[in-house]
Structure 1
Amino acid sequence: MSEGSIDDLMSSADSPMIVVTTSAEGERAGCLVGFHSQSSISPEHYCFWLSKANHTYRVSLRSTHFAVHFLTAEDLAVAEHFGALTGEETDKFSGLDVDTTTDGVPLLRALPNRMLVKRIVMSDDGGDHVGVTAQVVSVETTGSFAPLRLSDVGDLSPGHDSDERVIDP
């Protein structure tokens, strides 16, 4: 066995990518997310982690509902859009087909494999991401699909680096 890094280990796991959207007080936000997982079977809970450097994180502090959109292998352009742009400088939803839930959450029509969730708790352990544990409210899917994976977006330059977090621990 040889020494390695967590990056070496996690790149082999090659997690699927999602786009998380939310809104608060009329302000919409969305970002590309690689850290996420189902966290309970009964009741159905889902967790995702938001970078503290992102506009979406700041909006999430005031929001209660989120949409978790699952990306397919054909959704690289959407991943680039939500991963490389920053909400401070651009309206990420401009020019996209978007529906809105009664709670104000933007739903991306181009990403029909999704769930709506309601925040239970946010957890900040002092790292560069904050965890959101949420109750699954509803699920929509077109059936099974091949996910867009971390290795597919490896060359993407993020809108913010993790060291740009708004609040230092």
Structure 2
Amino acid sequence: MASLDAPMIVVTASDGVRIAGCLVGFSGQSSIIPTRYVVYLSKINHTYRVARRSTHLMVHFLANDQLDLARHFGELTGDETAKFDGVRWKPGPDGSTPLLTECGTHMWGRIERRHHRDGDHGAFVLAPLSTRTARDFEPLRFHDVCNLDPGHPLHEK
């Protein structure tokens, strides 16, 4: 599985009260008709808890020069840190879900389905509502971030 050098994303969420965001390595298009995109969030993550109460998610595709942003959203935990302090963002199309303004490639989607029964990650199936792609986009990949120290341990204790 390590040879599958996945593009890295930051997923942001808002439940109307709290905002959250985290670095994500598990995501991909899951249907052509209708168009669907799935993201998997760690169940021990603050963003997962906020996303469970959200109706929409914002998916930010990190460019290969955005390692600092990956480090910020991957090594800090929203349980202990106000992650959006010091990060440029604005409310997304719904007026609530954070849009990281330095990410030129992103997708905003409505949560159509949630799957939480199996494994240590929950799946959120999104119907894309708006997308933007930056020119000459080259993604940040798993091999670029594999040495980061996650904000949470990989497993609950």
CA contact (8 A) 1:83 1:159 kept: yes
**1:139 pairs with 2:127:** no
Per the TM alignment, residue 26 of structure 1 is displaced from its structure 2 partner at its CA by 2.0
CA distance in 1, matches of 2:153, 2:3: 22
Q: Percent identity?
A: 47
1:60 alignment counterpart: 51
Distance 1:102 1:26, change over 3 A: farther
Distance apart, 1:143 and its partner CA:
2.7
1:53 Cα deviation from its structure 2 partner: 0.9
SS in 2 for 1:82: helix
Compare CA radii of gyration and give the structure with the larger one.
Answer: 1
Structure 1 residue runs without a partner (length 5+): 1-9
The TM-score normalised by the length of structure 1 is 0.89
Which of 64, 75, 78 is the aligned partner of 1:73?
A: 64
Pairs aligned (count): 156
Question: Relative to 1, partners in 2 of residues 1:102 and 1:115: Cα closer, same or farther, differing over 3 Å?
Answer: closer
Q: 1:117 aligns with which of 101, 104, 109?
A: 109
1:94 corresponds to: 85
Shift, 1:102, TM fit: 4.3
SS of residue in 2 equivalent to 1:99? strand
SS in 1 for 2:3: helix
2:15, 2:136 → 1: CA distance?
32
1:48/1:131 contact within 8 Å kept? yes
CA contact (8 A) 1:52 1:162 kept: no
Report the 3-state secondary structure (helix = DSSP H, G, I; strand = E; otherwise coil) of the residue aligned with 1:80. helix
Q: What CA distance in whole angstroms lies between the structure 2 residues aligned with 1:143 and 1:123?
A: 34
> 53-62 vs 102-111, which deviates more?
102-111
Counterparts of 1:40-51 in structure 2, within 5 Å, are 40-51=31-42
1:129 aligns with 2:133: no
TM-aligned CA deviation for residue 11 of structure 1:
1.2
C-alpha deviations, 1:22-56, integer Å up to 9, x for none? 11132000000000000111221100100001000
Post-superposition offset of 1:101: 2.1
Q: Which runs of 4+ in 1 moved over 4 A?
A: none
- Quick one: distance in 2 between partners of 1:45 and 1:143? 23
Match of 1:11 among 2, 21, 25: 2
The alignment status of 1:150 with 2:149, answered yes or no, reads: no
Aligned letter for 2:156?
E
C-alpha root-mean-square deviation of aligned residues, in Å? 1.2
Map of 1:18-37 to 2, 5 A cutoff? 18-37=9-28
Counterpart of 2:74 (choices 73, 77, 83) is 83
